[in-house]
Structure 1
Amino acid sequence: MVDYNKMYSMLFNKMTDIIEEIQQIQRQTEDMFIHGKDRELVLLKSGKESDPTKE
């Protein structure tokens, strides 16, 4: 018989690990940006806003 509890636990634990890793990487890259010397903010417009032929 399939052990659904074990399957769910494995899946949940692995997904939690991956989410934590992604969050850590996000914090690291945000820190790199904050402490970077040559940062420049660029405002990106959506395709709808930037294409006057669609209005």
Structure 2
Amino acid sequence: MDYRKMYFQLAAKVADAMDILSKAQEEGEVAFMNGEPFPELKVIATQEENRDSE
């Protein structure tokens, strides 16, 4: 078996998969920024604990 060829084929398929996932993430981010997918969602400010003072 030609392991070098198999390795490069695998690396190419992994790169393709990463490109597909990256594009899907970008499309999801754009869709989120352009719309209001959760109009009932409200942001609530909370006070963070200061752990250094303990």
The TM-score with structure 1 as length reference comes to 0.65
- Cα gap change, 1:37 to 1:3, in 2 (>3 Å): same
**5+ long unaligned stretches in structure 1:** 44-55
One-letter amino acid of the structure 1 residue matched with residue 35 of structure 2 = G
1:9 counterpart = 2:21: no
Larger radius of gyration: 2
Which secondary structure state, in structure 1, belongs to the residue aligned with residue 36 of structure 2?
coil
User: In the alignment, which residue of structure 2 is the partner of 1:47?
Assistant: none
One-letter amino acid of the structure 2 residue matched with residue 19 of structure 1 = M
Higher helix share: 1
Tell me which stretches of 4 or more aligned residues in structure 1 moved more than 2 Å: 37-43
- Residues 1-54 of structure 1 show CA distances to partners (whole Å, capped at 9, x for unaligned) of x101100001000000000000000000000000103543668xxxxxxxxxxx
One-letter amino acid of the structure 1 residue matched with residue 34 of structure 2 = H
